[in-house]
Chain A
Amino acid sequence: GAVVSQHPSWVICKSGTSVKIECRSLDFQATTMFWYRQFPKQSLMLMATSNEGSKATYEQGVEKDKFLINHASLTLSTLTVTSAHPEDSSFYICSARDEGRSYNSPLHFGNGTRLTVT
């Protein structure tokens, strides 16, 4: 079945550095991918909708300049956390739908990335 691959699965970085997280659709094309973050004891929060070939749509309260999203191809979206700070430490997860089949096809989630900023 369709798979969404997310890389890396975990990363530790120093405060002030940038981290790039990749989300790939392995056997389907996705014009739209979604980026979420999860804090302990909270529900999933949608950060942004990544659109292939155009600018991402960010949710209210999410800093565009801090969380850079690039969706350069139909199978790859990247989220770059720029100048990371300890409060950016979180679990990030992406999802995508195989739109080539139908708008009603299943939504697939990546395995997530645990980011720890020291």
Chain B
Amino acid sequence: AQSVSQHNHHVILSEAASLELGCNYSYGGTVNLFWYVQYPGQHLQLLLKYFSGDPLVKGIKGFEAEFIKSKFSFNLRKPSVQWSDTAEYFCAVYYGGSQGNLIFGKGTKLSVKP
């Protein structure tokens, strides 16, 4: 069965540190890839998405992600985190075209120390 793996359950960083959150998926066909963020007390918000084209995708708030097809990966990065980036981050993969399914990773909780 298809799956999405997020490698870290909880990441703790100091402000200005660089961030990279791993995401790997198992499906070998065409996929749409997403990173979502949930800030405390808020709903899921789309950070960025990849459908096709340039594998380096830039999202909101300085986040970016790189799709590496050969590695089935879509890691999220940010050069310098801020305290306000403290949140839960979810990688999601949509596969299967018009009759497809969406699978979420288990999420990574990011805590940024001021």
A13 adjacent to chain B (CB < 8 Å): no
Interchain CB contact under 8 A, B40 and A104: yes
Does A72 interact with chain B (Cβ within 8 Å)?
no
Contact A44 B44 (CB under 8 A): yes
Which chain A positions have C-beta within 8 A of B109?
104, 106
Find chain B residues with CB under 8 A from A85 CB: none
Are B102 and A46 in contact (CB-based, < 8 A)?
no
Judged by DSSP, the binding face of A is strand
Q: Which stretch from A14-22, A61-69, A109-117 is at the chain B interface? A: A109-117
Residue A11 CB within 8 A of the other chain: no
A91 located at the interface, meaning its Cβ lies under 8 Å from any Cβ of chain B in the complex = yes
Q: A-side interface residues toward B, CB under 8 Å?
A: 1, 34, 36, 38, 40-41, 43-44, 46, 49, 91, 93, 95, 103-104, 106-109, 111-112, 114, 116
Supplied contacts A41-B32, A111-B101, A116-B99, 7 more A-B pairs, CB within 8 Å: A40-B97, A43-B36, A46-B43, A106-B88, A109-B104, A112-B101, A114-B100
29 contacts between A and B (CB under 8 A): A1-B106, A34-B44, A38-B94, A40-B32, A40-B97, A40-B98, A41-B32, A43-B34, A43-B36, A44-B34, A44-B44, A44-B46, A44-B102, A46-B43, A91-B100, A91-B101, A93-B104, A95-B104, A104-B40, A104-B109, A106-B106, A106-B109, A107-B38, A107-B90, A107-B107, A109-B104, A114-B99, A114-B101, A116-B99
